[in-house]
């Protein structure tokens, strides 16, 4: 641990004293404010550099009423949806010289309240609440003195602004891609049916099929978001409906399982059977045989936009309210279109 550890930080008055000027002059010199003689300014700056003076952001914030600080309140860091959102937000804020307070509530409402208090006591200029599912979550309430934006999990209060991926459009996009590939006998294997994401994707899929005068082969199969289930469901499916030519999977994990079962049962992907996943989780999608076509929710983009909205709200711009469904995109790989 550095030998300088514990040294008291140098203050503006240290710099002023060493430069032989008053604190006020030193302040002006360093901030380029007011009229200061060029020589004086240079001298002060040199001293500041020499002492490696760093202005105390707290003292500044106390005056300014702004801290240049934003709270990121996550419900569960573990979820893999958090990370890209967090990255996007951190990225956007970092570019604007704002720092991020990270708080993980571990999915616990009490801990969340606790963290909220802390963030407010630190006078963050704004808050982004990131949830782990797209199901609506309870609002933090309207009595908060700084702007709040909800990302991924929308707030259940329409007065709040929420950004969430458009799962209905994603479901539609998946089916439209399969149709474009000439598939017509399409089945659906998804995860936990209690998730809004599962229902929304199904809704979109059905819309797209209906638009083409088609419908799903068999009932949609729901259970859990795992490879195991993807394997089991697909085996069952191919036995019951051997004539299907495509499977729309509710997640990439399920799709990986589907690919495994298809291979076991001698069905060639994509020639004989097309498989499309959801999430575009690259570690899974790019390492399967064949590589997996998938729907990407643009989460990093979502995080960036959430940050953007918080910025605007801080600047007094009206960012509106309600749930915004952000567009998703298709990542095409070999599981739906033969390569080369």
Q: Which residues pair with 161 in a beta bridge?
A: 149, 322
Q: If contact means CB under 5 to 8 A according to the sort of partner, which of a second copy, DNA, none does residue 11 touch?
A: DNA
Q: Which of 31, 194, 215, 287 binds DNA (CB under 7 A)?
A: 31
Closest distance between a second copy and the C-beta of residue 159, in Å? 7
* Partner interacting with residue 103 (select from a second copy, DNA, none; CB below 5-8 Å by kind): a second copy
99 binds DNA (CB under 7 A): no
167 binds DNA (CB under 7 A): no
Which of 3, 17, 18, 27: binder of DNA (CB under 7 A)?
27
Closer residue to a second copy (CB): 166 or 252: 252
Q: Which is nearer to a second copy, 84 or 170 (CB)?
A: 84
Listed ranges 58-66, 178-186, 294-302, 330-338: which one lies at the site for DNA (CB under 7 A): 58-66
Whether the ω angle into residue 4 lies within 30 degrees of 0, i.e. cis, is no
How remote is the C-alpha of 277 from its chain's centroid? 19
Q: How far is the CB of 307 from DNA (least distance, A)?
A: 25
CA distance 181 to 330: 14
Query: Could you say whether residue 62 binds DNA (CB under 7 A)?
Result: yes
Select from 11-19, 91-99, 139-147, 311-319 the region that touches DNA (CB under 7 A). Answer: 11-19
Closest to a second copy by CB, 91 vs 211, is 91
Q: Exactly one of 65, 213, 242, 316 binds DNA (CB under 7 A); which one?
A: 65
Q: What is the largest CA-CA distance in the chain?
A: 88
Q: Is 40 in the site for DNA (CB under 7 A)?
A: yes
Judged by CB under 7 A, the residue of 24, 95, 109, 321 near DNA is 24
Residues at the site binding DNA, with contacts judged by CB under 7 A: 8-9, 11-13, 20-25, 27-28, 30-31, 33-41, 53, 55-56, 59-60, 62-65
């Amino acid at each position: 641990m550095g030998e300088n550890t514990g040294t008291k930080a140098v203050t503006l008055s240290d710099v002023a004293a060493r430069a032989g000027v008053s604190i006020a002059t030193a302040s002006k010199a360093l901030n380029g404010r007011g009229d200061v003689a060029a020589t004086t300014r240079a001298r002060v700056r040199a001293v500041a550099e020499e002492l490696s003076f760093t202005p105390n952001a707290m003292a500044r914030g106390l005056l300014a009423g702004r801290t240049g600080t934003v709270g990121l309140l996550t419900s569960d860091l573990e979820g893999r949806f958090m990370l890209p959102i967090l990255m996007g937000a951190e990225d956007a804020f970092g570019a604007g010289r704002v720092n991020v307070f990270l708080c993980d509530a571990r999915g616990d409402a009490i801990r969340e309240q606790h963290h909220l208090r802390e963030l407010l006591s630190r006078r963050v200029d704004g808050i982004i609440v990131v949830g782990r599912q797209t199901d609506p979550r309870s609002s933090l309430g309207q009595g908060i003195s700084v702007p709040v934006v909800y990302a991924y999990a929308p707030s259940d209060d329409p007065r709040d602004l929420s950004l969430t991926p458009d799962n209905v459009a994603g479901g539609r996009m998946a089916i439209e891609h399969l149709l474009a590939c000439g598939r017509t006998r399409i089945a659906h294997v998804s995860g936990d049916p209690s998730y809004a994401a599962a229902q929304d994707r199904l809704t979109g899929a059905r819309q797209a099929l209906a638009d083409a005068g088609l419908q799903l082969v068999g009932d949609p199969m729901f259970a859990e978001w795992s490879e195991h289930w993807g394997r089991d469901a697909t085996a069952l499916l191919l036995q019951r409906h051997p004539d299907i030519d495509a499977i729309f999977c509710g997640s990439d994990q399920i799709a990986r399982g589907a690919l495994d079962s298809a291979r076991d049962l001698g069905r060639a992907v994509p020639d004989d059977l097309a498989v499309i996943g959801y999430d575009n989780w690259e570690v899974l999608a790019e390492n399967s045989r064949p590589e997996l076509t998938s729907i990407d929710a643009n989460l990093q983009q979502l995080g960036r936009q959430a940050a953007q909205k918080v910025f605007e709200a801080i600047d007094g711009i009206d960012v509106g309210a309600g749930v915004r469904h952000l567009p998703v995109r298709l990542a095409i790989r070999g599981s739906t279109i033969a390569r080369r």
